Amino acid sequence: MLDSRMPESIKSGAHFLEPMECLDVTKLPKGPLWSYELKLDGYRMQAISRAGKVGLRSRRKSSYTLNFPQIPLALQGLPNGTVLDGELAALDLHGRPSMSLLQNHQTTHPPIVYFPFDVLFHLDRNLTRLPLSERRKILRDICPTSDMVILSEVIHMDADGILEFVRENSHEGVVAKRNESYYEAGRRSGAWRKLRSSLADVWRPSGSKPMEASNRCSELSTSIKRGY
């Protein structure tokens, strides 16, 4: 699949890329062109596999490999020449990401989990010009998972249902992404958008019955335990 779709002109050795940024909004985009993930309160982190070793780099390219050595060990099955983008989070007793626990992880010892949501290179090939929907498929195929590495999955709910769940469960917010978007390193183009729960205009799903909303929240809660 990679050979047939990837032009020779964009082949490159795997390396750190400046992260693609989310545009802050007060209302989520809706429709079939968009998909949704939970916004996690953690550290943006790239996992880079080269020469049989996996390293962690923050959004400012600082090395976090020695800060969280359990994560590179959990990613040892990642193919050489691969770069993942994701979020590193510390979980509280309710399974919610907590920035304060993450910042004090050496004294509080919370569960640390890496949530990959994108793949930028695979086998030294640059994937950033593939649509997000295809990059997600590749990510699912190549990324080793465990209690410490959980893929960030798309939440199959409408925008209003997700917002209701985020509000009721004290999550940070929602990220909306265009399914066919390229990975635009270092840019905030609007193809990825984030809504913080404190800035949302509308919370209640229009036309939803109480039982329908409850069922959707239960489904989402299960998704989070599996990784979003």
pLDDT tens-digit map of 144-181: 999 999 999 898 888 888 888 888 888 889 999 999 99
User: Average model confidence (pLDDT) for the chain?
Assistant: 85
pLDDT at 105 over 90: yes
From residue 111, give the alpha-carbon distance in Å to each of 66, 86, 90: 16, 16, 6
Question: What is the spatial distance between Cα 153 and Cα 144, in angstroms, rounded to a whole number?
Answer: 14
Residue 173 resides in a domain: yes
Helical H runs in the chain? 2-5, 70-74, 99-103, 105-108, 132-142, 159-168, 210-227
Residue 49 resides in a domain: yes
Domain ranges, residue 60: 41-151
Same domain? 119 vs 187: no
Domain boundary among 151, 173, 197: 151
Q: What is the 8-class DSSP label of residue 33?
A: T
pLDDT at 204 over 70: no
Given 39, 53, 137, 177, which residue is catalytic? 39
Residue 114 resides in a domain: yes
Residue 131 resides in a domain: yes
214 torsion bin: left (phi>0), alpha (psi -120 to 50), beta (else): alpha
177 given a catalytic annotation? no
Residue 142 resides in a domain: yes
What is the pLDDT averaged over residues 113-133?
97
Write the pLDDT tens digit of every residue in 45-100.
999 999 999 999 999 999 999 999 999 999 999 999 999 999 999 999 988 899 99
